[in-house]
Each structure stands twice: as structure tokens, then as C-alpha cells.
């Protein structure tokens, strides 16, 4: 008796991806509605590698909330879950620029219309408005200002930095000159380290005029980036306290223009603490990831 020859192995299908950015904070976008792809940290880091991969400050996996264990309980509020990863593969609670780019992808793919939608994130459900004129506004929630800040040191200069939590941790230092932040090739050292046991995003901010700031940022898990949405919000919150403009105290909303190397974000804090961030989001390319390359990682 002869046994049937095994069926030849079918090559695995390539994996779709897109590339997008919000004020030049750039992302590899991987649609995976059914939560079928396994993307360990090493695979995310390889995809975000700017020489050997696609390149990005982070990765946005687009998953139906109902299909993801971390978002299933939010499925009634938000159909889509943003599974955000930093460029090194680490997981973060929130990404402000990422949410806008995520919403732009959903709109471009015909999965949502312009107008209002909700996106599930590890930092909770975020309400998003896609304006007809192209800007996208995200209700970022409230900032927490845990008491203790840190001292940040670069090239022998020290600054006190305010601890602002936007779902993810930030240390905001107001400096005299953005060049004082140095080359930001490595994470700026701070003390005491115990304030941020899980690491921190560090913002250096200068005044450009009334309610107008310029910022450089070193992101946890990604290095210096051209923009950080949660960072812009953290800086605006810290500036409002510094400027005597805390909306909870004055009863009036306050808006800051925040210029980052990659573009401008507008941040408004309301008297109830709710923070809205507005900025652009662009999809620049789409393609296919070679499955064999991905599997071999």
C-alpha cells in the first residue's frame, strides 16, 4: 500500500501594513481585526527598525475590541482597539499622535466616517473627532499630577521636572533653550529614579510667546521623536499650573499652541480637567510585509 504524498506547504500570505504619521511621530500600522497575528517585542522592534525594517517610532495594531482580551470589556463603547507598541517593542498605555493616525487609518479604510468615533486604548476609551478640514481632535482625558517631580540633568545642567501622567508617565522641564536638552541620543538621567519605576517620557519646553511653547521630547521606548501627543498635553498642563491658568482654579479653559520639531499641536484644558488635543494625521504608504521574514524574526 502506498501512502499519499503530503500536501506541499502553502506559502503564508504576506501581512498588510501601512505607514503614517502625526506631526512626524511615525508609525507602522498593522491591520489585524481578528487578533490573529503574534507580534512579539522582537518583531515589533524589527518592523520599526529604520534600516532593516519599515521604520517607525512605534507600531499601531488595529484590532477589533471584541477580539482582544485587553479590550473586550470596552467593545460596547469602542469597536476598535489600538494595540500600541513603542519602537523597542515595549507596551505603553497611550499614544496621542498614534490615536489620531489610528483614526485616520479607520477612515481611509472605510471602517468609520468623518465625525465622531471612539477608540479603545490601554489608557481607556478615547473620543475622537475627525473634522472635514483634516484636523483630528482627541479627548485625552484628565491629567494626574502626582506630587513628586524629579531633577533632570543634561550636560551638567539641572532642572526640576514636573510629574504629569497622561495615562503614560511624563517629566516636564522648562528650560531656557531647547539646545540645552543636548543630543538626546540617550534617555536624560533623572533623580530620584524611584518616581518612575516603569520609565518616563521626558519633555524639555521653552516659551515662544503667550500660551505658546516649543518642545523637544525623549520618549520611553523610542528615543527622541519629532513629536509626542501625550507629551504636548503634559507640557500644556504643567505650563497652565506654572502660569496661574489652571482651569480648575480660574473656571476658564486654557489653550496652548505646542510646537514640536515635526509640527504643531493645539491643547485645550477645560475646567472639569478634560484635555483636548488637535493635530494632523497622515497615511503615507501601504504595502505587504514578507511573511517568511516576519516568521524568521
Ligand X SMILES: N[C@@H](CCC[C@H](N)C(=O)O)C(=O)O
Active site residues: 95, 228
- Residue 165 marked as a ligand binder: no
Q: How far apart are CA 161 and CA 191, in angstroms?
A: 10
Whether the Cβ atoms of residue 203 and residue 166 lie closer than 8 Å to each other:
no
Q: Is 25 annotated as a binding residue?
A: yes
CB of 149: closest distance to ligand X in angstroms?
17
Distance CA 65, CA 220 (A): 26
24 marked as binding residue? no
Q: Could you give the CA distance from residue 159 to residue 150 in angstroms, rounded to a whole number?
A: 8
Question: Backbone phi, then psi, for 210, in 5-degree steps?
Answer: -60, 125
Of the two residues 163 and 225, which places its CB atom closer to ligand X in the complex? 225
103 Cα distance to chain centroid: 13
The answer on whether 230 is annotated among ligand-binding residues is yes
SS3 of residue 158 by DSSP = strand
Residues 185-224, one symbol each (x = binds ligand X by CB under 6 A, - = not), give ----------------x-----------------xxxx--
CA–CA separation, 166 vs 181, rounded Å? 22
Interaction mask 145-174, ligand X, x per CB under 6 A: -----------------------x------
Strand-pair partners of 160: 151
Q: Which is nearer to ligand X, 107 or 222 (CB)?
A: 222
Three cell numbers at 50? 529604520
The one segment of 64-72, 93-101, 175-183, 246-254 that binds ligand X by CB under 6 A: 93-101
Q: Which window, 10-18, 175-183, 226-234, 267-275, contacts ligand X (CB under 6 A)? A: 226-234
Among 31, 96, 279, 280, contact with ligand X (rule: CB under 6 A): 96
Question: What is the smallest separation between the CB atom of 27 and ligand X, expressed in angstroms?
Answer: 9
Q: How far apart are CA 188 and CA 280, in angstroms?
A: 28
d(CA 45, CA 52): 10
Residue 271 CA: distances (Å) to CA of 46, 144, 274: 43, 14, 7
Task: List the binding residues.
Answer: 25, 86, 96-97, 168, 201, 219-220, 229-230
Which chain residues interact with ligand X by CB under 6 A? 25, 58, 86, 92, 95-98, 168, 201, 219-222, 225, 228-230
Residues placed in the known binding site for substrate: 25, 86, 96-97, 168, 201, 219-220, 229-230
Amino acid at each position: 500500500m502506498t501512502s499519499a504524498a503530503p500536501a506541499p506547504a502553502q506559502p503564508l500570505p504576506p501581512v498588510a501594513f501601512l505607514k503614517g504619521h502625526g506631526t512626524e511621530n511615525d508609525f507602522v500600522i498593522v491591520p489585524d481585526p481578528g487578533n490573529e497575528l503574534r507580534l512579539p517585542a522582537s518583531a515589533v522592534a524589527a518592523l520599526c527598525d529604520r534600516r532593516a525594517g519599515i521604520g517607525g517610532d512605534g507600531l499601531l495594531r488595529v484590532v477589533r475590541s471584541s477580539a482582544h482580551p485587553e479590550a473586550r470589556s470596552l467593545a460596547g463603547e469602542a469597536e476598535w482597539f489600538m494595540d500600541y507598541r513603542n519602537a523597542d517593542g515595549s507596551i505603553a498605555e497611550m499614544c496621542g499622535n498614534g490615536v489620531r493616525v489610528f483614526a485616520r487609518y479607520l477612515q481611509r479604510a472605510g471602517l468609520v466616517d468623518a465625525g465622531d468615533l471612539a477608540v479603545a486604548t490601554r489608557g481607556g476609551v478615547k473620543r475622537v473627532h475627525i473634522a472635514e478640514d483634516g484636523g483630528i481632535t482627541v479627548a485625552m482625558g484628565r491629567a494626574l499630577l502626582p506630587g513628586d517631580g524629579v531633577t533632570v540633568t543634561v550636560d551638567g545642567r539641572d532642572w526640576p521636572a514636573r510629574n504629569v501622567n497622561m495615562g503614560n508617565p511624563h517629566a516636564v522641564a522648562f528650560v531656557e533653550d531647547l539646545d540645552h536638552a543636548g543630543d538626546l541620543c540617550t534617555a536624560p538621567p533623572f533623580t530620584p529614579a524611584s518616581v518612575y519605576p516603569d520609565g518616563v517620557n521626558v519633555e524639555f519646553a521653552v516659551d515662544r510667546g503667550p500660551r505658546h511653547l516649543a518642545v523637544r521630547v525623549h520618549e520611553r521606548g523610542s528615543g527622541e521623536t519629532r513629536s509626542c501627543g501625550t507629551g504636548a498635553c503634559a507640557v500644556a498642563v504643567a505650563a497652565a499650573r506654572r502660569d496661574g491658568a489652571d482651569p480648575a482654579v480660574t473656571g476658564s479653559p486654557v489653550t496652548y499652541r505646542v510646537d514640536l520639531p515635526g509640527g504643531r499641536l493645539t491643547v485645550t484644558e477645560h475646567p472639569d480637567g478634560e484635555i483636548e488635543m488637535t493635530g494632523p494625521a497622515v497615511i503615507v504608504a501601504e504595502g505587504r510585509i514578507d511573511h517568511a521574514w516576519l516568521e524568521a524574526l
